[in-house]
Chain A
Amino acid sequence: MTELTTTAAQLRARIIANSHKSATPHLGSCLSCVDILTALYFSVLRINPEQPDDPLRDRCILSKGHGAPALFQVLAERGYYPHELMDNYGEDGGVFAEHPPTPEHLPGIEAATGSLGHGLPIGLGMALAGRVNQHVYNVYVVLGDGECNEGSVWESAMMASSQGASNLYVIVDFNKWQATGRSQDVLSLDPLVDKWRAFGWNAVETDGHDIAALLEVLNQFPSKNGKPTAIIAHTIKGKGVSFMEDDNNWHYRIPTVDEVEQAKRELGVAE
């Protein structure tokens, strides 16, 4: 567990440094989902970076596509491509920018996202295809809480329930913010756990920054009751850096050199 916590701290430091270097925004959103992605990619997912197209692999879709700067670091660390591939991050003609490209353009990506509310329907299609193809795998979709504004999320939630897609998991990165305000204020989101239950899902709450707690919840499933599962992960936007935590300015702000250094010190990452 200490190892995964260290990995998450290193990932945070890289994400912050890259935000400065490439002027890529959405730092707050990236830092809130790092522990979720770390738990998934370094413990839960049955994947082999050397065979990104293996039909039997677990699938993970970062539906909140603006968290791509976090996902790009995770995939590199997991071995899908060397870190050096990101040297031209944000430069013209490259592949790394603000949102995930299509799988054809970057190994490890399952679906190009960026426009919100698309990842869950695609993930449901993949989960149902597993049934048709008689392939046993799980599909994990990471949603933002702001993303739950999108009607397509709830269309998909209903169909997943009616189809008994028990191999489908949603993890809501519940950081309580969206671009311009508190997610509860913009479109009343509460009670989020009850909403998922009312749509026919298993729904559990956990601390989205406690990797051990996340793993405990993720390892309880697949469920035996035939329902899909939603994990409402309570998170903090900008988690890990004192001056970024729960400050929504970091949805768009780019850190200065000094801020990058201070963040690294706080994270205990020397590099």
Chain B
Amino acid sequence: MRNAFADELTTLAGSDERVVLLSGDIGNRLFDKFKSVDNNRFYNCGIAEANMMGVAAGMALSGLRPFVYTIAPFATTRCFEQIRVDVCYHKAPVVIVGTGSGLSYAELGPTHHSLEDLAIMRTLPGMNVYAPCDTIELRLIMREVMQSNSPAYIRIGKKGEPDIHSAPPKLKLGKAIVVRPGEQVTLLTVGNMVAESLKAAEYLAQQGVEAEVVSFHTVKPLDQVYLSQAMERFSLLVTVEEHSRVGGFGSAVAEWFMAEGRMAPLMSFGTEDEFMHEVGHQAYARKRYGLAAQNLSEKIMSRLGCS
């Protein structure tokens, strides 16, 4: 995903002179092509994220369109106040891109896990939050945010994620995309859990349950139309995210129903309220948190009373 980000940003920079890239001393060689477009629009801001975010805000207030790129926790929790005050309070159109999100860097330990970013980013007034499921959605979201004038956070994985869409879908910010139609249960998924959820839907189908799978590439603002209709159409709405269940996408969905004064039958999957102390790669970590396709399908079957 990070290669697609670098490539798409290079294209955007070629056609829009306002695009600048700020990196927190990562992405060695990743941005060589971007630099060849215009080296004056690339800034290695060093390992100093608070300053980097303030600099981006100052640039945005001077008419530029900065993209800030670093590892997800350092792009969000490390410099949260700068995002809150410098970016959001000023409505500065800064696009923050957090790479290695969720458990992508599981083996690097909890300092590099990013299981709180969706939660804290979506609390900020005016901040839009995106979690594309593949490189195709990522590219489309990047083009769309350039058309909007709002602060944005885009949560991406690392590299080698499977493509979900065989062809570019019609993507509109804030409008969820159905990637597999179904009838009984709907899996509302974000980012890198769409692939796992599609696998879970296969398992469910083998047991006679037709699950819909939806890519909620926009976590904020939520697609209220889909949620409202889903409540009528399905007997169970399941949220799936590689993120803490505290305050994440599942919480956002539940909050929406609560604010509406009605409650759909909901079930959420996410990581537990703890740091992961043992070593492990992403697949191991997912299993540990019950986020592997097999875990998802078993729990859903049980919830539906079909176990």
Contact = CB atoms under 8 A, between A and B. Distances in A.
Interface stretch (A13-21, A85-93, A117-125, A216-224): A117-125
Given A102-B90, A159-B55, A132 B20 contact: yes
B39 to A, nearest CB: 11
B59 A156 contact: no
A126 interface: yes
Interface string A148-183: 000110011011001100000000000000000000
Interface in A79-109: 102-104
Contacts of A128: 43, 55, 58-59
Contact of A121 (B40, B53, B91): B53
Contacts, number: 104
B184 interface: no
B85 A104 contact: no
Nearest to A102: B90
B117 to A, nearest CB: 20
A158 B55 CA distance: 13
B47 to A, nearest CB: 9
B81 A125 contact: no
B40 A122 contact: no
A124 B81 contact: no
Contacts of A102: 89-91
Contacts of B90: 102-104, 111-112
Nearest to B20: A132
A129 interface: yes
Interface stretch (B60-68, B149-157, B208-216): B60-68
B242 interface: no
Given A103-B61, A133-B62, A133-B64, A156 B54 contact: yes
A125 B57 contact: yes
Nearest to A157: B51
Interface in B104-140: none
Given A118-B85, A132-B41, A133-B63, A155 B20 contact: no
B64 A122 contact: no
B252 interface: no
A159 B20 contact: no
Given A55-B63, A112-B89, A115-B85, A125 B54 contact: yes
Nearest to B57: A122
Interface in B17-64: 20, 40-41, 43, 45-46, 48, 50-64
A197 interface: no
B50 A158 contact: no
B241 interface: no
A162 B64 CA distance: 21
B46 A125 contact: no
Contact of A151 (B50, B59, B91): B50
B268 interface: no
Contacts of A162: 46
B89 A125 contact: no
Residue from the set B45, B51, B53, B57 with the largest chain A CB neighbour count within 10 Å: B51
Contacts of B76: none
Contacts of A55: 62-63
B55 A104 contact: no
Contacts of A122: 54-55, 57-58, 61, 86
A130 interface: yes
Interface string B62-87: 11101000000000000001100110
A124 B89 contact: no
B64 A132 contact: yes
Residue from the set A110, A122, A131, A162 with the largest chain B CB neighbour count within 10 Å: A122
A132 B40 contact: yes
Interface string A224-257: 0000000000000000000000000000000000
B14 to A, nearest CB: 15
Contact of B64 (A111, A115, A129, A156): A129
A173 B79 CA distance: 26
Interface in B223-268: none
A126 B20 CA distance: 13
B50 A124 contact: no
Given A102-B89, A132-B64, A152 B58 contact: no
Given A111-B90, A121-B82, 15 more contacts: A104-B91, A110-B61, A111-B61, A112-B89, A121-B54, A122-B61, A123-B58, A124-B58, A125-B57, A129-B62, A129-B64, A132-B20, A132-B41, A156-B48, A159-B46
Interface of B: 20, 40-41, 43, 45-46, 48, 50-64, 66, 81-82, 85-86, 89-91
Interface of A: 55, 102-104, 110-112, 114-115, 117-118, 120-133, 151-152, 155-156, 158-159, 162-163
Q: Which 10 A-B pairs have the closest CB atoms?
A: A125-B58, A121-B54, A129-B62, A155-B51, A155-B48, A125-B55, A122-B58, A125-B59, A152-B50, A126-B58
